[in-house]
Structure 1
């Protein structure tokens, strides 16, 4: 059952997956939503943890950000609001796992409120290896691509037919792709469906990404952090992931065989096993 989270300016939606063990919070990538974690979440719950995911602002069933304000600090604020209102704040067992922007936002949240998480599992956090202050980039290729993204289809079946054969979706686990389409589109009055993450919102997220400032403050994070990346990624490649780990006081690196940037949606079993393994490691 969805849970409403009031941030004071917008309402977010969170999802409880069950389980009664130590809590795990899952944070999704740009353009996706909290329910896309279904194949991973179900495997985690089967192993015991109590699992939550949520929709960031502008994604899924959460509200859009007022004024297209998608500075990545807002995503850290979303995380902290979810942690607080789900009653997870102060739990010394709380593990957070994030993918791409979701992973970067988790690191930012820990920087802003140290000790929020016991451990952070971060798959290819989108960080920019510079000690200089970087500015938003409206001409970012990912932002430009998002602006051109098709937003409306006659049906979910038509959307699936369009997505399934195209990269990167052709590499996704079938259940993850189905969750993305089933819950990432909303019904329109004329019977068609449209993306819940509007192209202009997604573009604003990408434009702000370069200015997230997380890399410059990595040394402030004292909790154990596992930085995972795909062997075949074209995003946070192993060399960059290693640079991130070097800055983390308690960082470690895992290169996951056969995976790309969308690893959590490609091989949910391997990702769930990695998260569970990290949760059980003494550090």
Structure 2
């Protein structure tokens, strides 16, 4: 297959659910494991994964449980620990320790896994506009959008209009083709978002705030290279939360992407992938330096 062509695969969770996934590029390439945010799908990474696959990376994207084409939890009983376990399981079955690219919820899950698992299943981590303590107002704005249309939409055009209002920084309006993977047609003919409604009505949302102390503790134990990317216009990450994170993880690097919001990868994909490529290059230099140190000294 061509490096940028996605091949559909699936992962089976420890409790028997099937998670839809795509893989780009062969197994012997450096692996990037992309974990999306709450309410998103693996499609959020399509442009970034294609770009990095063209650069020679093996890119794995997946839909979290209750999202996209992945299975829903029977009875709608979702808990954060399930998502943490899913990510750990997927990381462990990769042919080599992957570099995690985690946005929002995906990044928080990555922090829990990396901080609480030894050895870490990740080679390194890129956190995309998320820190273990976040700005509540930004998260509330996201949840308000997700909860705003329980009865769905009469047409794709109506859904596109709502997305345009939610993401005014995006110049391109979503087409029907782009929206089809995000919406499901019900028996009543209405179009509803792909996620399981139980994600919003169950205990998962209430758990998120209680997870902050655990995430702060986990972050302080992360021992792999970390790049934190934040959006200049983000309302979820702030200078305050970034400073706290860098104090907890002093070996982490931070870069702010100009003009980007919390939806950083979608707002500025070229800048986003350039940051990932630069981070990977720095990891290769470190590996080369370590190998050089391990070589026996040359004697004249």
TM-score range, shorter chain: 0.7 to 0.9
Change (3 A) 1:55 1:176: farther
Q: For the residues of structure 1 that align with 2:264 and 2:176, how far apart are their CA atoms?
A: 16
1:171 to 149, 158, 169: 169
Counterpart-to-counterpart distance in 2, 1:44 and 1:203: 36
Instruction: Tell me, yes or no, if the aligned pair for 1:219 and 1:247 is still in contact at 8 Å.
Output: yes
With over 3 angstroms needed to count, the CA separation of the structure-2 counterparts of 1:266 and 1:222, relative to structure 1, is: same
Take 2:179 and 2:280, find their aligned partners in 1: how far apart are those partners? 30
Structure 2 gap ranges (5+) = 1-6, 135-139, 287-300
Match of 1:43 among 33, 43, 51: 51
Is contact 1:38–1:176 with CA below 8 Å preserved after alignment?
no
SS of structure 2 residue aligned to 1:21:
coil
Shift of 1:127: 2.0
Computing the radius of gyration over CA atoms, which structure comes out larger, 1 or 2?
2
Tell me whether 119-128 or 268-277 shows the greater mean CA deviation: 119-128
Aligned pairs, number: 267
What CA distance in whole angstroms lies between the structure 2 residues aligned with 1:202 and 1:108? 22
The change in CA–CA distance for 1:177 and 1:247 in structure 2 (over 3 A counts) is farther
In the TM superposition, 1:198-237 aligns within 5 A as 198-202=196-200, 204=202, 205-212=204-211, 213-237=214-238
How far apart, CA to CA, are the structure 2 residues paired with 1:162 and 1:95?
A: 34
**Shift in CA distance, 199/190, structure 1 to aligned 2, threshold 3 Å:** closer
RMSD over equivalenced CA pairs, Å: 2.6
CA deviation map 1:199-228 (0-9, x unaligned) = 441354433221222112212110011111
Normalising by structure 2, we get a TM-score of 0.79
- 2:133 match: secondary structure: coil
Change (3 A) 1:256 1:178: farther
Structure 1 length as normaliser, TM-score?
0.84
Name structure 1 gaps, 5 residues minimum: 130-139
Tell me if structure 2 keeps the 8 A contact 1:149–1:199. Answer: no
- Give the corresponding residue for 1:88: 94
Per the TM alignment, residue 109 of structure 1 is displaced from its structure 2 partner at its CA by 1.6
The structure 1 residue matched to 2:124, chosen from 119, 123, 142, is 119
**Large movers: runs of 4+ above 6 Å:** 175-180
The whole-number CA distance in structure 2 between the counterparts of 1:215 and 1:180 is 37
Whether the aligned pair in 1 keeps the contact of 2:42 and 2:61 (CA below 8 Å) is yes
Once the two structures are superposed, residues 104-162 of structure 1 have per-residue CA deviations (whole angstroms, 9 ceiling, x without a partner) of 11111212323201110001225227xxxxxxxxxx77656644444522333332233
